[in-house]
Chain A
Amino acid sequence: MATHHVSTVLPDEPEKATLEGKNKILGFWLFLGGETVLFGSLFATFIALRDQTNGGPTSQQLFDMPLVAAATLILLTSSLTSVFAILALHKHDLKKMQVWMTVTVLLGLCFLALEIYEFVHYVHMGHKMTSGAFGSAFYTLVGFHGAHVLFGIIWIATIQLQTVKKGLTVVTAPKFYLASLYWHFIDVVWVFIFTVVYLMGMIGGKVG
């Protein structure tokens, strides 16, 4: 509880050193459990509606492997760099941690830029939120993921700025730990989107 007693010697795992830190980590895991249901529901909706194109372009006509593969590669790499950041945190190497977190944020921005490009491209091909059930389901599922990426980028950047001033303490360490958990979660969701939306959408003719 006594978060203000920042000891001069940082413990090995500073994110779990206080009850507050432990509470935050447990609470965040539970929150991710809820998020799993949220994305599960969106996936179920998408699977039910993915062939309902209402005369618009089908997924086979839309999706383009090189673009999606690039986005996937970038996001998976950003998960790895956030692991490096947490390894640095455990070694109490603030500078290294900040560098790896910055790389993570930049990769996240690249991913987002590709996604925005992709969405604009699809809209030009006649695939819109309002063009049919497939469009609604696609933009809602992939867009929700994109919004999560955006939130993660802003979140990580904010705590990075804060840490410049406050340094690595038992108060700031849990925030980075949580942000990295969140980032891995976003990545796992993307792996499912890559599989269910893109791979299954590209193979064969009419699926399901």
Chain B
Amino acid sequence: MDILSQLFAGLSLGSVLLLAALGLALTFGQMGVINMAHGEFMMAGAYTAFVVQGVVSGAGVSLLVALPLGFVVGGLLGLLLEATLIHRMYARPLDTLLVTWGVALVLQQVARDVFGAPNVDVSAPTWLSGAVEIGGLALPRTRLFILGLAVACVVALTLLLRATPLGRRIRAVVQNRDLAESSGISSRTTDRITFFLGSGLAGIAGVALTLLGSVGPTLGTSYIVDAFLVVVAGGIGQIKGTVVAALSLGMMQAFFEYSTTASVAKVLVFVAVVAFLQVRPQGLVSARTRSLA
């Protein structure tokens, strides 16, 4: 029974990591761009939920309104970032990391100045309070909801990439940018759309996180390092790798934490990722590319 509840804890943590990392994997895979402001897009999503809660009175529906709105807010922020800064820097992927870090700092301070330094509370709708009892095992509804949301996002993204013309274009650009360009795909437009999608996913993740923790200016920073580890361990170019990596990291964290302490668990997870990269330097799954880099 303890094992079962820990399994669920790991699965749940994995789904949180997956939500945080999914958009990151998309933008990183597409353009090799490390977006350090991804965590702040999550924060923006979370504050969106806070604002929506103030406008839409019924807590029952405000979450459902906040999810698409969070997607749009995160996405627009990402689009703005891409259009103003990142598109200048595709030749220098490492430098984007620092530039977006600067953006992250500014966004955090903006949140602090607009919403105040203290954390704010987003109350969960009543239909998500409490737990579902299955065979003596209590599964918190909020965690089930996040699990479902993560699955929905993965399914939606997979369908989009597999079954739509846009998805074909994105995949083509990921696999070989030059060839895609010469076959008439505008990589410029594709990049923008990808960035919008990836950042929008961050917004959704942010809304979901309000169910678990506090909403504050530094919300994103607590997830960003873990999310990056997921992306690195999962490899770029395919969602499959991200999913497996997120769930494995979540499971590892949960079980290490159960048998040792939360601090030691974090360190062990890091060691495991480094060791894993020794075996597979390109991550779990990596798209075959013809580039040398």
On whether the two chains bind one another, the answer is no
